[in-house]
């Protein structure tokens, strides 16, 4: 059962929530909506579910117009950030509730509930109540209730955001495995680029209600079609430096110069914005084409086993995403190294002019 959005918009009190979205989701596909808070992810999901009606445009399920069909008449399930379970029902009864509402036979309910609970590793908790469960077990219960009825469309609105890192990793892996054998359309919303990459499938970048780019997740990541897509699909955001190409070389902020490499050789002379991902800048040279940048440390953000190092060289700032703990004092001098073969080039209109040819 495919889902197609044809020029779908939603405007509430003159405020645009969704602006002319055109998307198609295929049966059996896993799809990620990525965007900052208030980018339109939840609004788009509510339109897909039938909880809201579009101001303009149509929604088609398998070619049939369902724009005005209410949610109760659609075979749709939704999982939210919060653990929405019935506190007075056991885990078994929570999972079984949509099947009972649909009039499914008792024996079939028993089979489906136990089968779904086993997939999500909560079969040992079916007799417990939600408040007797951990956060991860409660979210698994909510997910099992959404999955048990074999919906045509399952929507996940940032369902793992309130869980700790280890649980999130476990559930991401389980979700990928769950949908490999289903014909269900799964759509997952997140604010985190790394989560989108971990989940794979297809990715749709949203910003202020507009679809910025959509396609296979790795393709969208490796070939962002505009500056905004590159910024949104990078954590921390991609570093951007103004520069020019002239006389066979690149000048960054009229300060740093290097000869055109094979990746950038096809670009014409003129002004560009060059992008480099924070994880690709190093503290030591590791490539023949590394560009050395001298600067001072503005801030070293240490987060567990990672460090986000903010560096300024006088004309522009850079952020480095480093593995390990790097406790640099503020204002200490530093040299960092940019691999020029990993530079993205965007033209004066912000469109992708050249992406690195080497995949990473």
State the average pLDDT over residues 259-279: 94
Residues 129-184: tens digit of each pLDDT: 999 999 889 988 998 998 898 899 999 999 888 777 777 887 787 777 777 777 88
Q: Is the pLDDT of residue 360 over 70?
A: no
Instruction: Band the pLDDT of 55: cuts 50, 70, 90.
Output: very high
- Write down how long the chain is: 360
Q: What percentage of the chain exceeds 70 in pLDDT?
A: 99
Give the single-character DSSP code of 267.
P
Domain residue spans of the chain: 3-232, 239-354
Give one DSSP letter per residue of 144-167, joined into a string. Answer: HHHHTT--SEEEEESTTTTS-HHH
User: 3-state DSSP call for residue 34?
Assistant: strand
Taking only the tens place, the pLDDT of each residue in 300-346 is 999 888 999 999 998 899 999 999 999 999 999 999 999 999 999 99
Q: What is the mean pLDDT of the chain?
A: 93
359 has pLDDT over 60: no
For the purposes of burial, counting CB atoms within 10 Å of the CB of 27, is it exposed (0-12), middle (13-18) or buried (19 or more)?
Answer: middle
The percent of residues above 90 in pLDDT, for the chain, comes to 77
pTM for this structure?
Answer: 0.90
- pLDDT recorded at residue 175: 78
- The Cβ-side half-sphere exposure at 294, using a 13 Å CA radius, reads 2
The fold of 3-232 is Rossmann fold (3.40.50)
Q: Are 275 and 230 in contact (CB under 8 A)?
A: yes
pLDDT for residue 358 is more than 70: no
Classified by CATH at the fold level, domain 239-354 comes out as: OB fold (Dihydrolipoamide Acetyltransferase, E2P) (2.40.50)
Q: Quick check: 355 and 223 in contact, CB under 8 A? A: yes
């Amino acid at each position: 059962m495919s889902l197609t959005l044809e020029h779908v918009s939603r405007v509430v009190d003159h405020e645009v929530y969704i602006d002319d979205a055109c998307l198609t989701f295929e049966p059996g596909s896993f799809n990620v909506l990525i965007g900052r808070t208030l980018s339109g992810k939840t609004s788009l999901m509510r339109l897909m579910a039938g909880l809201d009606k579009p101001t303009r445009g149509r929604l088609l399920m398998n070619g049939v117009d369902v724009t005005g069909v209410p949610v109760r008449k659609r075979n749709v399930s939704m999982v939210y950030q919060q653990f929405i379970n019935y506190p007075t029902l056991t885990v078994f009864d929570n999972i079984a509730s949509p099947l009972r509402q649909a009039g499914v036979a008792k024996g079939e309910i028993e089979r489906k509930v136990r089968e779904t609970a086993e997939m999500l590793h909560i079969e040992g908790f079916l007799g417990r109540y939600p408040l007797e469960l951990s956060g991860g077990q409660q979210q698994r219960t909510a997910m099992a209730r959404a999955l048990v009825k074999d919906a045509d469309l399952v929507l996940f609105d940032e369902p793992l955001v309130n869980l700790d890192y280890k649980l999130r990793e476990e559930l991401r892996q389980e979700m990928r495995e769950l949908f490999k054998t289903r014909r269900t359309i799964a759509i997952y919303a997140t604010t985190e680029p790394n989560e989108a990459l971990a989940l794979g499938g297809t990715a749709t970048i949203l910003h202020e209600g507009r679809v910025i780019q959509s396609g296979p997740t790795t393709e969208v990541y490796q070939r962002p079609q505009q500056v905004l897509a590159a910024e949104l699909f990078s954590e921390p955001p991609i570093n951007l430096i103004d520069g020019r190409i002239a006389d066979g070389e690149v000048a960054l902020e009229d300060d740093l110069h290097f000869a055109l490499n094979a990746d950038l050789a096809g670009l014409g002379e003129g002004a560009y914005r060059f992008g480099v991902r924070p994880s690709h800048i190093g503290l030591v040279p590791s490539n023949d084409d590394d560009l050395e940048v001298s600067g001072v440390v503005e801030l070293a953000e240490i987060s567990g086993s990672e460090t986000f190092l903010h560096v300024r060289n006088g004309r522009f700032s850079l952020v480095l995403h480093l593995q390990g703990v790097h406790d640099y004092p503020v204002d200490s001098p530093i040299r960092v190294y940019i691999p020029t073969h990993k530079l993205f080039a965007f033209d004066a209109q912000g469109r992708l002019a050249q992406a690195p040819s080497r995949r990473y």
